[in-house]
Chain A
Amino acid sequence: MAVVAPSPERTRIENLERLWAARPGLLGWLTTVDHKKIGLLYFWTTLVFFAAGGVEALLMRTQLATANERLVGPETFDQLMTMHGVTMIFFFIIPITTGAFGNYLVPLMIGARDMAFPRLNALSYWLFLGAGMFMYSSFLIHQAPNAGWFDYVPLALRQYNGGLNVDFYALGLIFTTVAATIGALNLIVTIFKLRAPGMSWNRMPLFCFAMLAASLSLVFALPALTADCIFLELQRKLGFHFFDQAHGGDPLLWQHLFWIFGHPEVYIIVLPAFGIATSIIPTFARHKMVAFPLVAMAELLVAFIGFGVWAHHMFATGLTSTTLVFFAAASMMVVIPSTIQIYAWLMTVNIGTPEFRAPLMFIGGFILFFVIGGLSGIMFAAIPFDQATTDTYFVVAHFHFIIFGAAVFPVLGGIYYWFPKVTGRMYDERLAQLSFWLTFAGTTLTFFPMHIVGLLGMTRRIYTYDGGLGWDAYNLIETIGGYVLATGLLLIAFNIVRSYRRNVPAGRDPFRGGTLEWTTTSPPPHYNFAVIPTVTSPYPNWDEPDREEDLRKLARGDLVLDQGHETPESTVNDAWPSAVAEMPPESPWPILAAATVTVAFFLLLTQHYATAGAFFVLTVLAAAGWNAHEPEEATG
């Protein structure tokens, strides 16, 4: 009997398994550089912050359910209100879209084995976790940030706010902007350099265009916020006068810098959600996106015009009419890329044969909410109407339709959509649809009445109100809606846990998706693809010839790269293979570096500047250690 020699395919896959094998257990998670594991770490961490922000929201809604309620006092309310905004924006929605979805999916969608800088990727996560813990530790001493998420001066100056509240805010944001910038740069380089052979710009998935646009916005918008927060800390701690009228400063400087970041921020929040929508719609409509190039351009255009609209947050500050008109014009221009996308989504649904399963239902809800929030947004570009209704609940309604309706809904749909890919198990469709209807009703009940109560004169950020102003019934409805919404969200969590336990196998491609992540197994192997796929269209999984060619390549050993811990690099425009990048192994340095930064920020908070400096020196040493450990075994 002849011994059956292993096939060449089998040997190559075994090589890959050995080269990319992950350290098991907790240590494996702490030292991982695998984009999928980091994506999951981001996912679970951001969900914890989402829960915290949700509890804060429910406490506020309970306080506001009836007039003159005394459940929480003004100090607690202000902390809840500020932390709700800070949490949902900086510790939930940005990190779950760019950090969790972007990290997990971008390399899979572009056919790469990891992000361009795997250890930097880990560093970005650990810094984000450190910043979140830093920010939330403020609750332990009841000194959480309390001047609103946009933290206007002079209210945020030491003179009017003597505690550590605003220092937690400013330092915490400086901290988290570092993490977000690193993550964004990594995504940009990954998308530029690691695309699979043949994936020229016109064949890149729209999800990746959205991630690219959001990441570019992040890189250019965050420095304004970082600078603003540094100015604030210098003024609070060291007596500088950036915002001090009496010494030649200007309180409006804070607002300008904040909103130069703050409005691109809105698009940073919604662009990844658009990307999720443009992934889910073609799959369930069984049709490629209508007007694909227009949508790709629209995504980039939104990010660009988004930098020219910031002063529409300041229409009531007494800027000159000329200034107002310029920003009103830009604010109206930014509508066009959004309407292009809305009609492209709707026409794709119409021209295809859509199957309304839970992910697509969430996208349907998203479209309706986005249109409502967009229409009220256009109203705010009309200067006089903005001046009448800004800082009322009409604004609160508007941006919750955008941030919850237009950003979180696609994320919820995306959780269901990619759950089978990430876990290899199928979710419960019936429960998923029920959770859609609950969250849909809850969102509408919570946020729609806010339009009315805002027009009736209810200002935002008030911890209580008098009866008899016509606000009572709406506020009660909103609070009930909040609890309905929370129930719907808990049902999603329950569905995830239950479906994971029930372990119904999903297979590699349960929805017949078009993009590359569906060509590999569920969950994907550590090396993502046994053979680096070749791409000739934007929906490579729908092009059978390409996939058959991949199988032949595996047999030939072409583009398998099973001799090292490697991924191919390609040219920026046409994605021709240009080099092979050696990928680093698991490393303890990212988490150690992040730990030193976290300690340093606590020391800055308590004004131990010298010791903080010493810890930053340790950060530099950690970086040195990181570079000293060149991936030797990976080449073996």
Chain B
Amino acid sequence: MTRAALLAPPLVLVLAGCGGNQNTVAPAGHDERAITQLFWVMLGVACVGFGVIVTLLFLGWLRRERPSLPGGRGERAATGVVIGLGVALPIVLLVALFVWSDLVVVNSVAAPTKPTPVTVRVIGHQWWWEVRYGNTRIVTANEIHIPVRTEVTAIVTTKDVIHSFWVPELNRKVDMIPGTANRLLLRADKPGVYRGQCAEFCGLQHAHMSVEVIAEPRARYDAWLARNAQPAPGASSLFDANCGGCHQVRGTPAHAGVGPDLTHFASRRSIAAFTLPNTPSNLREWLRDPQHVKPGNRMPNLELSNAQWTALQRYVESLR
């Protein structure tokens, strides 16, 4: 019956040590650190509380032949325990938790009110993320590049249904609601790739709607911005005819906004919001049968000849 005691230490090890990079309790930013701290303290107190309950239940079993409380005490003492442990102590603990958690809200995770050096607009779609950079023409998808140790405001909304924007190691989550622009602060303390995932059920491919925040030193971030501000090197009539109805490649006739902007697709790390890593063989599989890879997504299966497939893939791979 001492499950709490047995489980707590391995739990700490497991949570602190492993996992991918979508770990709520491996904070990489100030706000998430405050939340994690709150969690560990709550877990500690919870384990003590659970220990008390287990002990009382165990005592009840151990002393099952004896018709009184330890020390021969009776009904009055029992009611005293109910009031002491069941009313007084929880009130003290809950008030403390209430005050502390509200301080965390005010000091850390509340929506940013002052302008920050960088602003990104993130727009949820079924089932990918559109990312726009304030004051630039840069549009990308499923990857958010930010400068490290810099405050970034994410303004989030949706084009269709409710999604929820969540990069666990950087901050809490915030819902993307039609007609509403919610704000969230992103600040990465060290360079790295932080994975996130849509947290509100949004339909068939809710499972394949991931995002990465890539935090880089300022110089590399500026270089990325400069490169992504460029239009594509050239157009492809094959692409325009078959893909231009939904996708945009800046600097070419393809400029629709149904699917992700593909101007610099080849420089991105994934296909279809982290359904597949962006490798030539995966790209081939995706282009030829998107409905098998991500059933129900908005990209139709096309009928093209082998030569056309090769040409199309070569063009998409040229979009660096």
Tell me the A residues contacting B by CB distance below 8 Å: 73-75, 78, 147-148, 152, 154-155, 160-161, 245-246, 251-252, 285-287, 290-291, 294, 316-318, 321, 324-325, 328-329, 332-333, 335-336, 339-344, 346-356, 364, 367-368, 371-372, 375-376, 378-379, 381-385, 387-392, 394, 444, 448, 452, 454-457, 459-466, 468-470
Contacts and interface: CB of A to CB of B under 8 A. Distances in A.
A469 B160 CA distance: 28
B204 A328 contact: no
Contacts of A378: 42, 46, 94, 97
Given A343-B81, A351-B74, A353-B67, A328 B98 contact: yes
Given A154-B178, A469-B19, A350 B78 contact: yes
Given A290-B82, A462-B207, A457 B197 contact: yes
A378 B45 CA distance: 11
Determine the interface band of chain B, counting residues with CB < 8 A from chain A. 35 or more
Contact of B57 (A155, A364, A379, A383): A364
Interface stretch (B20-28, B128-136, B279-287): B20-28
Contacts, number: 269
A293 to B, nearest CB: 10
A351 B42 contact: no
A466 B212 CA distance: 15
A464 B174 CA distance: 23
B173 A316 contact: yes
A347 B59 CA distance: 10
30 contacts: A154-B162, A154-B178, A155-B162, A160-B160, A252-B177, A290-B79, A291-B82, A294-B82, A316-B173, A317-B175, A328-B102, A332-B97, A339-B85, A339-B87, A341-B86, A350-B56, A350-B60, A351-B68, A354-B61, A354-B64, A364-B57, A371-B53, A384-B109, A387-B174, A454-B24, A456-B20, A456-B23, A459-B166, A463-B206, A470-B19
A456 B162 contact: no
Contact of B39 (A245, A352, A379, A452): A379
Contacts of B126: 160
A75 B207 CA distance: 12
Nearest to A286: B67
A141 to B, nearest CB: 18
B38 A382 contact: yes
Given A294-B82, A340-B82, A384 B199 contact: no
A384 B182 contact: no
A346 B52 CA distance: 11
Interface in B291-318: 295-296
A195 to B, nearest CB: 26
Q: Give the interface SS of chain A, mostly helix, strand, loop or mixed.
A: helix
B102 A325 contact: yes
B42 A379 contact: yes
Nearest to B19: A470
B11 A452 contact: yes
Contacts of A321: 105-106, 110
Contacts of B201: 147-148, 152, 155, 391, 460-461
B195 interface: yes
Contacts of B86: 336, 339-344
